[in-house]
Amino acid sequence: MSASVDDRVNLLGLPRAELEAFVAARFGAKPFRARQLLQWIHRRGASSFQEMTDLAKGFRAELEAVATIAVPQIVASQSSSDGTRKWLLRMDASQGIETVFIPEPDRGTLCISSQVGCAMDCGFCATARQGFNRNLSAAEIVGQVWLARRELAAAAAAGETPRSITNVVFMGMGEPLANYRNVLPATRILLDDLAYDLSRRRVTLSTSGLVPQIHRLAEDCNVALAVSLHAPNDALRDQLVPINRKHPIAELLAACWHYLERQNGRSVTFEYVMLDGVNDQPEHARQLARLLRGRPAKLNLIPFNPFVGTQFVRSPDAAILAFRDILNDMGVIATIRRTRGGDIDAACGQLAGRVQDRVVVRLGTKLARAPAEARP
């Protein structure tokens, strides 16, 4: 008896080891069948088993009865004047997330989401203001990459400039390490040479500072690590990044250095959004330099991208340049991120998606369910 559509296993979210176990348990098949499936689904972009012509017809029919290749539905697509593309993807009947592709002369970066909404409550982030609904499954995370590759290929076939995804960053909606159980297998699929074959330096996982999960990641997976720092001292970071009240800066930095030591990594990238009159003063730059000087660290200064309802203002260009120069002069590598996709609300910190029936969560405590009239 075949399984219903809802009961079928979505193979899009199974890394190689789990896929091998699945075909062995369900069909008594050898591991090479899993390798074939990985290549068809991820490398060739197959959306149905009937496309997999080197698999026996009987095996394909058996697969269709118990498995599926289900990707999120594209609700809307926008293109920026600078070539940035943003997709709103339907996760279920009422929830949506956003995925962004950013083209550069030497790379193509896909910014993917890991949750519907976010519970970290960082006041300068549009996603955080929506509250949190749920974690994305591994298939929903990988599905963003699968869809983006298909859409970019279709655009190139239609005459647009050919683009490819060379880098994937977990910097979209949500806190990746708060969805560890699904982000980890998704990351393994991105790194697999039979799937997307991305190098460990081309997959970046960004976190606001969940220290225990950073220690777990040090044992489980080797990718580039980015940390949303945004303040040089605990008093200020407590206000801007509330998870700091649970895991202060010293504890966070110790976890970062442990991760690099364990995974033989080159450096940690620290993200620092520039907020006028809040964290952009020369003394803040000097405090940062004292924290990071002599460490394997890079600082990425991000001009704040405003959104409706925010209390914050972007630092003036002169202040950002002066901040960078102080850091560089004191021996800390600091660069300024170029703002991309601002005309389609695709810039850093602007992703809003569609979070309904949400719960406002702060540091793991459910506060209140958002009223219907407040839902986007």
Question: What positions carry a catalytic annotation?
Answer: 98, 348
The DSSP-derived string for 115-180 is: EEE-SS--TT-TTGGG-EEEEPPHHHHHHHHHHHHHHHHHHHHTTSPP----EEEE-SSS-GGGGH
Q: Give the orientation angle of helix 16-27 with respect to helix 180-191, to 10 degrees.
A: 90
Tell me how far the alpha carbon of residue 224 is from its chain's centroid: 12
Q: By the 8 A CB rule, do 76 and 88 touch?
A: yes
The position carrying tokens 């777990």 is: 216
Report which residue type is found at 278. Answer: V
Which of 108, 72, 103, 111 lies closest to 90 in space, CA to CA? 72
Strand partners, 116: 134
